[in-house]
Structures are given as C-alpha cells and as structure tokens.
Amino acid sequence: MVPALVLVFCVAGAAKKPAPGTLYVVVKPVANMYRDASTNTDVVSQAIYASNVTLVEFKKHWVKIKTADSYTGWMQLGDLRKLAGQGYASQDATVRVAELSANVYREPDVTAHAPVVTIPWESRLEVVAEKVADGDRWLKVRLPDGSEGYVQRGDVSRDFAPLSIEQMIGVARRFLGVTYTWGGTSSFGFDCSGFTQMLERQRGVVIPRDADLQAGWTEVSEVARKDLQAGDLLFFGKDAKNITHTGMYIGNGEFIHDTTHEHPMVQISKLDDKPWTEILVAARRVKP
C-alpha cells in the first residue's frame, strides 16, 4: 500500500504542463513581466488587469507569456488564470475603465466594504447585468478570476472608437503627474515608451513596446524637426542608434512625456529647452 503522502506527490507530479499557446488572463491590477523567471531580474514590461496573454514557456511557478503587442516576458503564475476557451472580455457585453482607476465592489455600495480590487485605465470587464440596485448607477460584472462584482457606470465606457490626434492629446493631458515607473504600462505608472504606446492605442494603432523599436517601426515615416505636427513621436538619445527616451509632440514647441528628468512623472516640456534640444535624434509620424 502506498502511503497517502507519496500518493499525493505522485498524482501532482503527473500533472500535465500547459502547452505553448495556452491562453491566460491577468488577475492582478498590474502584473510585472520580468526578463527571466525571477523577481531578481529587471522588469521589461507589464500587463494590466484582464489582459489576455498566451503561454510561450512554462517553468514551475513562472510562465513566459506574450502580450497582444507580441512582447514577451516572465510572469508569476499566481498573477494569471488559465482560460479554457475564448479570451476574457472578448464579447460585445464589455466595458473598459475610462478613468485613471476604478474600484470594483462586492455589492452596489461604496461604503459597506472595501473594494474587491482597484484597477487601472483601459482594464476591461465583462458585464453580466445592466439593472441593479440604485437605478442606473451600477453595472454587475464578471471578473477575470470568475467572481462577480459591481462597478459604477461613471468609471467605465463602452466607447472603443479610435480617437483623433486632438482627442488623443486631450487624453494624454489627463495623465499629467502620473509617476514614472520603469517597465510601466498602466495609469499606476508608465515608462516613456509605455506611455506613447498607450496614447497611440487610443487611435487604434498598436506600435512596438520599446522606444528604439518604435523609431524603427515600418509603419512610421521620418519627420524633420521643422515639419513637426501634433501627434508626432519624438526620440532622444546619444544618436539615432542609441535611443533612450521618447515623447509626443503636442504643438507650440512642446511635447508630453513620462520622464525621470528632474520630476519623475508625466509632464510637458519645451523642445527648445536643455537637455531635450541637444539630444533629439529622430521624429516619426505614424503612417495614415
């Protein structure tokens, strides 16, 4: 007779590893993506709540995943939930967070209990009921972990229509003061290229994740400094082969960016000021 402890070990050890291409959904408000399967390595990017990602490689309590923009990194398995079928929030009954953050509650009441979770800008939620207590104030939603909760309508939107450049710049200004976070891709903290990537996404354009890749992307064209227009992407560094920073031109000689220079946050700077005027090495415009 096999002792119970050994039997449990044998059954667990026989568990089948998930295959490459397996679909997961992020269940943490913001989940770090690491260079290797260890928190002692650098953060290369992040994936926000309710993002659908695919498995590239599995290693014990770690999963190497690929995001919708084809970026890869290692994420802790506890930050994810395996999906049996289609992606989370991929149907019509979907809303997305339209504020810098939104609280989800266990009941339609902001005072009874603390929020179940606080999630960032752009996070998607599946709507399961339109009419709940307190009139039209609340939506009942199904969360990525399978539980249910309530979100206030004023925090979310069903409008996924691409924005104009002018509207996108208006959105950009809403993030002024949001802290700089290396590898950040959320309203809880962006890095420079995570910020510009998010802005372009509001136009329905998925650009590469990193600044140097954005500058070299095939879907952008070169722009001379004298020909800059609002919405153009600016790239800074030692030279065009060593780009270390990016921002977006907003007109009148100004650009918006997330930087650690002087104040680590999203801010507006003047292109003619130092150090920016001396280290601008490229400008790009997304092709129509």
Domain boundaries of the chain, sorted by first residue: 18-82, 94-157, 165-286
Same fold flag, 94-157 and 165-286: no
In 172-279 the beta strands, taken as DSSP E runs, fall at 185-186, 189-190, 220-222, 233-237, 243-251, 254-259, 265-270
Domain 18-82 has CATH 2.30.30.40: yes
As a whole-number percent, the residues of the chain with pLDDT over 90 amount to 88
Residue pair 132/139 in contact by the 8 Å Cβ criterion: yes
**0.85 exceeded by pTM:** yes
pLDDT band at 272 (very low <50, low <70, confident <90, very high): very high
Q: Which residues pair with 286 in a beta bridge?
A: 220
SS3 276: helix
Q: pLDDT by residue (tens digit) across 108-150?
A: 999 999 999 999 999 999 999 987 776 789 999 999 999 999 9
The position carrying tokens 């309508």 is: 153
pLDDT at 263 over 60: yes
Distance from C-alpha of 250 to C-alpha of 215, rounded to nearest angstrom: 18
Name the CATH topology of 165-286. Answer: endopeptidase fold (from Nostoc punctiforme) (3.90.1720)
Burial 236-257 (b: 16+ CB within 10 A, else e): bbeeeeebebbbbbbeeebbbb
Q: What is the pLDDT of residue 195?
A: 98
94-157: which CATH number, 3.40.50.300, 3.40.190.10, 2.40.10.480, 2.30.30.40? Answer: 2.30.30.40
Express each pLDDT in 50-107 by its tens digit: 999 999 999 999 999 999 999 999 999 999 999 988 899 988 899 999 999 999 999 9
Burial group, residue 118, by CB count within 10 angstroms (0-12, 13-18, 19+) = middle
Q: What is the DSSP letter of 154?
A: G
CA atoms of 140 and 135, how far apart (whole Å)? 12
First vs last C-alpha separation in the chain = 71
